[in-house]
């Protein structure tokens, strides 16, 4: 006999039928009068993460919201990640209340807005955020550029599958990440090596809500768990290395240092090493060359 019960799935199931941990993001868009509009969202997640010529997030929202209507008009977006300060979450809940105009909701906003790093007419970003993604809606996907702002009572079909107006009241937006902005403390941690003390105090929106409350959890210090890496066979690394590029070879000693790379990532890692080796004029990758290549990768990350 199962230890679980079958709970009915209803609209907004992530809020009404589940406890679903999500981020708390304030999304900036540009209103018709040029003012930055902030809306609170949690249904915003990584979408394109590898293998394409750009990276992207996906946003799910009501198509009548200020945010959706502004994206349909102008495409530029800022994703502002706030910390777990209670006054910030309280403000996020206020900014997420539907029906207010941009002028009404932004009149007494507690956040400080400043210009981001991308050029052009873009929404301002929140100074108090620990990181910001400056994005552009990829309206070419599914010909979503054909969807226009202005329908506040619901859109009629046909609908897109994953980008643009996807239902009578819903929308999905594939947001190309143009820049990731990071405050100094967290930038330095990512570049130089993250420790438990370096994590920002990220709140968790629990998804579930009732007619009275949204629920949020404060940050707790994360704990590390070592990756149980399986060491591969040196011969497997040597076999793969020989097939990357005939102009660049790996010594046995260098291959021995690469046995902890998971097999599924081995070819990609070796290919990147060979590309850097060629840039540096290296034809034989030995232990010393590996150090040069790793230094180069760190510099590129900075």
- 299: part of which helix (H) or strand (E)? helix 287-301
At 233 the pLDDT is 82
If you ran DSSP here, which 8-state letter would residue 242 be given? Answer: T
pLDDT at 81: 97
- Residue % of the chain over a pLDDT of 70: 96
Mean per-residue pLDDT, 167-195: 94
User: Cβ distance 198 to 160 under 8 Å?
Assistant: no
For residue 221, give the DSSP letter. -
The DSSP annotation for 77-142 comes to EEEEE----HHHHHHHHHHT-TT--HHHHHTT--SPEE--SS-SS---EETT-SEEEEEEE-TTGG
Q: Give DSSP secondary structure letters for 14-70.
A: HHHS----B--EEEEEE-TTS-EEEEEES-EEEEE-SSSSS-EEEEEEETTSHHHHH
This prediction's pTM: 0.81
Residue-averaged pLDDT of the chain: 91
- 23 in Cβ contact with 81 (< 8 Å): yes
Burial class (CB in 10 A: 0-12, 13-18, 19+), 185: exposed
Query: Poorest-confidence range of 95-99, 208-212, 258-262, 263-267?
Result: 208-212
Helix (H, G, I), strand (E, B) or coil at 274: helix
Contact (Cβ atoms closer than 8 angstroms) between residue 179 and residue 118: yes
Q: What share of the chain is helix, strand, coil (3-state, %, to 5)?
A: 30, 25, 45
Residue 229 has pLDDT above 60, yes or no: no
- In tens, the pLDDT along 56-106 reads 999 999 999 999 999 999 999 999 999 999 999 999 999 988 889 999 999
Rounded to whole angstroms, the Cα distance separating 291 from 277 reads 11
Instruction: Name the band, by pLDDT with cuts 50, 70 and 90, for residue 222.
Output: confident
pLDDT in tens, 5-50: 999 999 888 888 888 899 999 999 999 999 999 999 999 999 999 8
Cis bond leading into 158, ω under 30°?
Answer: yes
* pLDDT above 90: residue 191: no
Query: Residue 29, CB half-sphere, CA atoms under 13 Å: how many?
Result: 25
The stretch 231-240 carries a mean pLDDT of: 84
More confident site: 224 or 286: 286
- Report residue 9 as tokens: 């799935």
Largest CA distance in the chain: 67
Q: What is residue 218's predicted lDDT score, i.e. its pLDDT?
A: 87
The confidence score (pLDDT) of residue 231 equals 62
Q: Measured between alpha carbons, how far is residue 175 from residues 26, 56, 130, 162, 200 in Å?
A: 15, 5, 20, 12, 24
Q: Inform me whether the pLDDT recorded for 209 exceeds 90.
A: no
- The answer to which of 70-74, 169-173, 184-188, 261-265 has the lowest mean pLDDT is 261-265
- The whole-angstrom separation of Cα 272 and Cα 278 is 10
Contact (CB, 8 A) for 7 and 20: no
User: Among the listed ranges 73-87, 141-155, 166-180, 182-196, which one has the minimum average pLDDT value?
Assistant: 182-196
Question: Would you state the pLDDT for residue 158?
Answer: 95
- Which residues are within 8 A (CB) of 68 and not within 5 positions of it... i.e. 6 or more apart? 61, 62, 171, 173
| pLDDT at position 302 over 70 | no
pLDDT over 90 for what percent of the chain?
67
């Amino acid at each position: 006999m199962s230890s679980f019960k079958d709970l009915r799935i209803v609209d907004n199931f992530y809020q009404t039928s589940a406890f679903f941990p999500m981020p708390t993001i304030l999304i900036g868009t540009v209103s018709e009068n040029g003012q930055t509009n902030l809306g609170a969202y949690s249904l915003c997640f990584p979408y394109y993460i590898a293998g394409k010529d750009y990276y992207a997030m996906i946003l799910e929202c009501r198509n009548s919201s200020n945010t959706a209507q502004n994206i349909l008009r102008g495409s530029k977006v800022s994703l502002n990640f706030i910390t777990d300060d209670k006054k910030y979450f309280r403000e996020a809940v206020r900014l997420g209340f539907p029906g207010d105009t941009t002028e009404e909701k932004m009149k007494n906003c507690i956040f400080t807005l400043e210009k981001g790093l991308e050029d052009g007419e873009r929404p301002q970003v929140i100074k108090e955020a620990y990181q910001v993604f400056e994005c552009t809606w990829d309206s070419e996907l599914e010909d979503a550029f054909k969807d226009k702002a202005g329908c506040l009572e619901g859109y009629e079909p046909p609908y897109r599958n994953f980008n643009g107006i996807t239902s009578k009241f819903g929308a999905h937006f594939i947001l190309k990440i143009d820049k990731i902005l990071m405050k100094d403390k967290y930038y330095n941690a990512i570049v130089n090596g993250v420790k438990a003390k370096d994590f920002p105090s990220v709140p968790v929106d629990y998804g579930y809500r009732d007619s009275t409350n949204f629920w949020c959890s404060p940050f707790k210090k994360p704990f590390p768990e070592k990756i149980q890496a399986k060491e591969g066979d040196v011969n497997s690394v040597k076999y793969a290395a020989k097939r990357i590029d005939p102009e660049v070879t790996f010594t046995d000693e260098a291959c021995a240092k690469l046995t902890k790379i998971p097999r599924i990532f081995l070819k990609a890692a070796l290919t990147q090493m060979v590309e850097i080796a060629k840039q540096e004029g290296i034809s034989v990758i030995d232990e010393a060359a590996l150090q040069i290549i790793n230094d180069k990768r760190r510099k590129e990350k900075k």
